[in-house]
Amino acid sequence: MQAGMVVIGAGECGGRAALALRENGYGGVVTLIGEEPHLPYDRPPLSKATMTSDEAPVMTAIAAQVSLAEQGIAFVSGNPVMDIDRAAKIVRLRDGRHIAYDKLLLATGAIPRRLPLAGPNSRLAYLRTFDDALAIRAHLREGRRIAIIGAGFIGLELAASARKLGARVTVLEAQPRILMRGVPAEIAAVVHALHASQGAEILCGETIAAIKEDGRTIRIERSGGRLIEADLGIVGIGAAPATALGERAGLAIDNGVAVDDRLRSSDPNIFAAGDCCSFPLSVYGRRRVRLEAWRNAQEQGALVAKNMLGADLAYVAIPWFWSDQYDMSLHIAGLCDEGRTIVRRELGDHAFILFHLADDGRLVAASGLGPGAAVAKDIRLAEMLIAKGARPHLSDLASPSVKLKKLLAA
């Protein structure tokens, strides 16, 4: 049994890593193993374009079958890994097959958090896979009643997609406001108002006492006995790192597979990257974070391939995230909760940016909201200022006449 590089997880991160191994000159065996029956594909469109496209939705493939074959990448689909034998350096697949590895990458992503009180329910959906998206899309049409539990990014993006298609939408959020995790209240308030203006009802501070269904509808009993009846309920209460394999293998776990800044796990022959791992970020004093973001998965996939081949490169990128809802885009660079002072810059046309500064004056995050790509360029420049450790004057950040490029050059 010839050993080589094995990548478990055929999403953005795993697919990128497998291709990057070849791009960096590795000539040995590369095996990419996916749990789903599909080719590697992008997940961000699932809550947006996959729901609302006029044509029958198709997956946005990361790599076509012919590309994988041309690169000499053995792709195993629909046959998940059940166990990792670290001593023998082999993985065991569901069909009993064993694959040997020299280096192993865990890129297993994250899975939706389940709603404990719900139980088996044919009218309650979760979104992670393309097949999940197709099942949800079938319900999003004129007049259908959709209840969404959770007002995070996934819940709100699905709410926007459902309203675009004419469905009646109610969003239930247990927290006192929407987007509690990682988004400042000032931006969350604007997003809430946007959804309300589009006809979506968002109820915050709502706890759920019971969920029942009769095969045709789902009934959600709210605190106080009030009921919401819907044709479909969708749960979007966050995601948990998929660490079961790492746990069974005895790897260190800390809000994900714990890796160092080289993305190495507690086993020097096993790496982890993407949504399933937590890692230290030097720009935030080596604070350990786990990021559920498309760009993080892509960048870590490219970097971890080099480190699996013997490089010693630290992952130092600034966190970045975006979300499209209706005609507005939200962009965030950095970690907003690191900031103590917030400075607002108006960009016109209902677009604005909030700059988040630490007590020592360092810019540590920037969050912006606006139509289309109105804030994208300035968020990118702010990202570079964060990486530089810049301490800009508050008045310069507030003034639209002071170009961020000028601050970057200072």
Q: Rounded mean pLDDT of 350-376?
A: 96
User: What is the percent of the chain where pLDDT is above 90?
Assistant: 89
In whole numbers, what is the pLDDT of the chain averaged over residues?
Answer: 95
Q: Is the pLDDT of residue 369 over 80?
A: yes
Domains of the chain: 4-111+240-308 (3.50.50.60), 114-235 (3.50.50.60), 327-409 (3.30.390.30)
Q: Is the pLDDT of residue 279 over 80?
A: yes
The answer to whether 342 and 355 have CB atoms below 8 angstroms apart is: yes
Q: Is the pLDDT of residue 120 over 70?
A: no
Q: Cα-Cα-Cα-Cα dihedral of 241, 242, 248, 254, to 10°?
A: -10
pLDDT interval class at 83 (50, 70, 90): very high
Q: Rounded mean pLDDT of 123-138?
A: 94
Q: Rounded mean pLDDT of 80-84?
A: 97
pLDDT at 97: 95
Q: Rounded mean pLDDT of 288-307?
A: 96
C-alpha to C-alpha distances, 4 to 72, 94, 104, 264, 317, nearest whole angstrom: 12, 20, 9, 17, 28
- For residue 4, give the amino acid letter: G
The answer to whether 326 and 198 have CB atoms below 8 angstroms apart is: yes
What does the alpha-carbon distance between residue 365 and residue 405 come to, in Å, rounded to a whole number? 16
What does the alpha-carbon distance between residue 79 and residue 38 come to, in Å, rounded to a whole number? 11
pLDDT at 390: 96
Question: What would the DSSP string read from start to end of 374-385?
Answer: TTHHHHHHHHHH
- 395: enclosing H helix or E strand: helix 394-398
Q: Is the pLDDT of residue 407 over 90?
A: yes
pLDDT at 214: 82
pLDDT interval class at 224 (50, 70, 90): confident
pLDDT at 24: 97
Q: Which structure tokens are listed for 72?
A: 């000499």
Q: Is the pLDDT of residue 397 over 70?
A: yes
More confident residue, 215 or 11: 11
- For residue 232, give the amino acid letter: L
pLDDT at 222: 87
Give Dmax over CA atoms of the chain in angstroms: 65
Strand partners, 89: none
Q: Rounded mean pLDDT of 247-270?
A: 98
pTM of the model: 0.94
Question: What would the DSSP string read from start to end of 23-74?
Answer: HTT--S-EEEE-SSSSPPB-SGGGGTHHHH-SSPP---BSS-HHHHHHTTEE
Q: Is the pLDDT of residue 119 over 70?
A: no
pLDDT at 343: 97
